[in-house]
């Protein structure tokens, strides 16, 4: 197998790109030092699983090998942008750690968290370097901005809400320096002026806040990525023209802050080669203020052809699943969704970690016009070490007789239909609004819960139609139960964990789970109705689009009882060997010890 190595570490990368940073000068490391003692750092790292991904790249053509190098360079720049989005001192912290190689523990924490803030074993978020505490504004809104301050501004300037809450734009204070900074980017890159008609005038006249498109805020980085994507397209053109078209369109999309062209090519293109890539900013999970700003990622993937062909056949029943969902506004859905199993070459930005699968694009109008693509990450989903940790927690939580109901296959197919679930059900409110605009910071939580519940519904339907066996169904149901059990009480800004706690409480309320002698017993007979009833509730909330009602629902179903939840959580914590995952990649890190 040919080995690909991209030389720069995340720390060296941040340092070497200081001239391209969003600030006028390089990041200052003044005042930065470790804030955790060695014991606190080691406490987290002792519970960290180290996962090294080294997929077989022997099937790549010479052109694809060369294209991988270009795409890895683009990914490294995306990683840097993501760090900058999440914390205003992330790049300074990276430069500090590059200058202090002896701080190996802090470097591992930084790598694992893409920045200087880490999750602790108590599920708190704390700075392990002496930087500002994590704030809901991240680095996407002016420092110190709160929801209350922006809501008050929108109350008197409602005409600016859409502009400032655009999903691919950063909000800056309208200072003379920031105004000059944005206009200078347009002066240096006339293409941006052309692709954003009217922007210059808005930047010159806007008061209080500036709405700055990503391509302008991060102009130098974007033009670097633009060049890398076009270079990669040239290298794969002869063997995979559809993938080449996607790369060129996505390069242009980034400069326009409009992904329609690239998404259409990505979803509908007949990729004939071995590569695929998720490129851009899609997910809003990191925006703790409004839940609308997208954060950067790039995933470079190599196709697993046999598994991909097997999965494609599973989509024949997708319309039957849609028709069985408990709501009245069913629609025709495409059965030719591109779905594939891939192995990760490298992940960057928000995609980095043990992400199992993706379905994109998210925008409802793009999904309606072109469909969506599903990327199953095989070397994560089928990783034996990850499954063993999952199984230990499940075995600690449920009665002994049900401990072996959980299987790797059950998790794989539950995850597949979770991703398909995003394509089904409600995609707009009853009055035609997009769900993220209507539900804001609760939209992601409800959408992920809907997808979980659709996945479990589809398993029942496939079993009734003879597509999967009773044993396979039980494995999927068991995976659904493991999915919802929490080792700590979730924070409200954690959409996945919060929606999982809601399911746990609902299943207890409906008798699908029972608490017996310090463990949980799954009632598989009551499980389908518990799923259906909760899915009906979620679809109705999404359809209504009432953010206040959605939050009231969340508040009602996120109770945490010491005599129940904490007992199970303690058992799971005591069983665990690892809580976190530190992923490295052969392609950029080389062989790991």
Q: How many CB atoms lie within 10 A of CB 243?
A: 26
Is 302 contained in some domain?
A: no
Q: Which residue has the tokens 């944005």?
A: 182
Domain coverage including residue 516: 383-577
- Whole-angstrom CA distances from 261 to 252, 256, 336, 374, 591 are 9, 10, 19, 18, 38
pLDDT (tens digit, 9 = 90+) per residue, 144-196? 999 999 999 999 999 999 999 999 999 999 999 999 999 999 999 999 999 99
Rounded mean pLDDT, 244-257:
98
Is 375 contained in some domain?
A: no
Q: What is the DSSP string of 320-369?
A: HHHHHSSSS------S---EEEEEEEEEEETT-SS--EEEE---HHHHHH
Is 282 contained in some domain?
A: no
Question: Above 60 in pLDDT, residue 20?
Answer: no
Residue 590: left if φ>0, alpha if ψ -120 to 50, beta else—which one?
Answer: left
Q: Which one of 136, 161, 186 terminates a domain?
A: 136
Q: What percent of the chain has pLDDT over 90?
A: 83
Crossing angle of the two packed helices 527-544 and 470-484, in degrees rounded to 10: 60
Rounded mean pLDDT, 450-478:
95
Q: Name the burial class of residue 456, with classes exposed (0-12), middle (13-18) and buried (19+) by CB atoms within 10 angstroms of its CB.
A: buried
Q: Which one of 136, 159, 178 terminates a domain?
A: 136
Q: How many CB atoms lie within 10 A of CB 441?
A: 22
User: Between 369 and 86, whose confidence is greater?
Assistant: 86
Domain count, the chain: 2
CA-to-CA distance for 335 and 314, rounded, in angstroms? 10
Is 568 contained in some domain?
A: yes
Is 485 contained in some domain?
A: yes
Residue 28: the pLDDT is 86
Q: Which of 418, 426, 433, 264 is nearest to 333 (CA)?
A: 426
Question: Above 90 in pLDDT, residue 299?
Answer: yes
The pLDDT-based confidence of 419 (bands split at 50, 70, 90) is confident
How many residues make up the chain in this entry?
A: 593
Considering the chain, what is the average pLDDT of its residues?
93
What are residue 520's DSSP bridge partners?
Answer: 398, 515
Q: Which one of 136, 155, 176 terminates a domain?
A: 136
Rounded mean pLDDT, 552-565:
98
Helix (H) or strand (E) holding 451: helix 443-464
Q: What percent of the chain has pLDDT over 70?
A: 95
Specify whether the CB–CB gap between 22 and 217 falls below 8 A. Answer: yes
Q: Which of 36, 17, 112 is nearest to 583 (CA)?
A: 112
> 16: which 2 tokens?
């070497």
The pLDDT-based confidence of 62 (bands split at 50, 70, 90) is very high
Residue 338: the pLDDT is 85
Residue 11: the pLDDT is 52
pLDDT (tens digit, 9 = 90+) per residue, 67-96? 999 999 999 999 999 999 999 999 999 999
Residue 14: the pLDDT is 46
Residue 240: the pLDDT is 98
Gyration radius (Cα) of the chain, Å: 23
Residue 332: the pLDDT is 85
Crossing angle of the two packed helices 443-464 and 495-509, in degrees rounded to 10: 50
Widest distance between CA atoms in the chain: 69
User: H helices of 124-240, where?
Assistant: 147-156, 161-164, 176-188, 190-195, 199-205, 214-217, 219-236
Question: Above 90 in pLDDT, residue 7?
Answer: no
pLDDT (tens digit, 9 = 90+) per residue, 471-527? 999 999 999 999 999 999 999 989 999 999 999 999 999 999 999 999 999 999 999
CA-to-CA distance for 22 and 196, rounded, in angstroms? 19
Rounded mean pLDDT, 302-318:
83
Specify whether the CB–CB gap between 198 and 178 falls below 8 A. Answer: no
CA torsion 490→492→495→500, rounded to 10°? 40
The pLDDT-based confidence of 347 (bands split at 50, 70, 90) is very high
Which residues, in sequence order, are CB contacts of 305 under 8 Å at separation 6+? Answer: none
Is 342 contained in some domain?
A: no
> 328: which 2 tokens?
């009245």
- Residue 413 — φ and ψ, nearest 5°? -75, -30
The pLDDT-based confidence of 3 (bands split at 50, 70, 90) is very low
Q: What is the pTM of this model?
A: 0.83
Which residues, in sequence order, are CB contacts of 7 under 8 Å at separation 6+? Answer: none
């Amino acid at each position: 197998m040919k080995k690909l190595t991209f030389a720069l570490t995340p720390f060296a990368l941040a340092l070497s790109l200081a001239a391209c940073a969003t600030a006028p000068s390089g990041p200052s490391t003044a005042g930065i030092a470790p804030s955790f003692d060695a014991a606190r750092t080691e406490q987290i790292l002792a519970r960290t699983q180290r996962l090294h991904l080294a997929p077989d790249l022997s099937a790549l053509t010479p052109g694809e090998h060369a294209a991988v190098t270009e795409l890895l360079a683009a990914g490294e720049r995306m990683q840097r942008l993501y760090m900058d989005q999440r914390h205003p001192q992330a790049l300074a912290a990276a430069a500090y750690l590059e200058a202090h190689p002896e701080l190996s523990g802090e470097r591992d924490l930084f790598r694992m968290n893409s920045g200087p803030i880490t999750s602790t074993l108590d599920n708190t978020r704390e700075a392990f370097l002496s930087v500002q505490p994590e704030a809901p504004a991240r680095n996407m809104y002016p420092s110190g901005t709160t929801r209350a301050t922006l809501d008050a501004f929108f109350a008197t300037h409602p005409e600016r809400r859409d502009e400032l809450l655009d999903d691919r734009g950063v909000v800056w204070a309208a200072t003379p320096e920031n105004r000059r900074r944005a206009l200078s980017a347009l002066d240096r890159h006339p293409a941006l002026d052309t692709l954003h008609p009217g922007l210059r005038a808005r930047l010159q006249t806007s008061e209080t806040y500036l709405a700055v498109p990503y391509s302008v805020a991060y102009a130098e980085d974007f033009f670097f990525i633009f060049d890398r994507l076009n270079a990669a397209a040239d290298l794969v053109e002869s063997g995979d023209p559809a993938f080449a078209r996607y790369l060129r369109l996505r390069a242009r999309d980034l400069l326009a802050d409009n992904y329609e062209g690239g998404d259409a090519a990505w979803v509908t293109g007949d990729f004939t080669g071995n590569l695929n890539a998720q490129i851009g900013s899609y997910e809003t999970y990191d925006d703790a203020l409004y839940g609308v700003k997208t954060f950067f990622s790039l995933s470079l993937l190599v196709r697993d052809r046999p598994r991909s062909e097997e999965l494609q056949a599973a989509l024949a029943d997708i319309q039957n699943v849609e028709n069985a969902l408990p709501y009245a506004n069913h629609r025709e859905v495409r059965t030719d969704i591109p779905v594939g199993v891939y192995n990760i070459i490298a992940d960057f930005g928000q995609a980095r970690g043990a992400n199992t699968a993706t379905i994109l694009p998210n925008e409802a109008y793009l999904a309606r016009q072109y469909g969506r693509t599903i990327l199953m990450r095989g070397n994560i989903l089928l990783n034996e070490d990850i499954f063993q940790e999952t199984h230990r927690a499940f075995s600690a939580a449920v009665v002994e007789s049900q401990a072996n109901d959980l299987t790797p296959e059950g998790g794989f197919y539950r995850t597949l239909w979770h991703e398909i679930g995003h394509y089904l059900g409600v995609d707009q409110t009853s009055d035609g609004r997009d769900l993220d605009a209507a539900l804001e910071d609760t939209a992601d939580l409800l959408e992920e819960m809907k997808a979980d519940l659709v996945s479990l519904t589809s398993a029942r339907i496939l079993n009734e139609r003879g597509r999967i066996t009773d044993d396979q169904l039980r494995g999927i149901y068991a995976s659904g139960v493991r999915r919802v059990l929490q080792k700590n009480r979730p924070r409200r800004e954690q959409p996945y964990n919060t929606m999982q706690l809601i399911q746990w409480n609902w299943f207890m309320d409906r008798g699908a789970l029972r608490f017996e002698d310090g463990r949980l017993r799954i009632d598989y007979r009551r499980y389908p109705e518990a799923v259906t009833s909760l899915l009906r509730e979620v679809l109705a909330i999404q359809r209504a689009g009432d953010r206040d009602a959605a939050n009231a629902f969340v508040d009602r179903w996120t109770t945490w009882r010491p005599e129940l939840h904490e007992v199970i959580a303690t058992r799971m914590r005591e069983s665990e060997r690892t809580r976190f995952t530190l992923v490295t990649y052969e392609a950029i890190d080389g062989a790991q010890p």
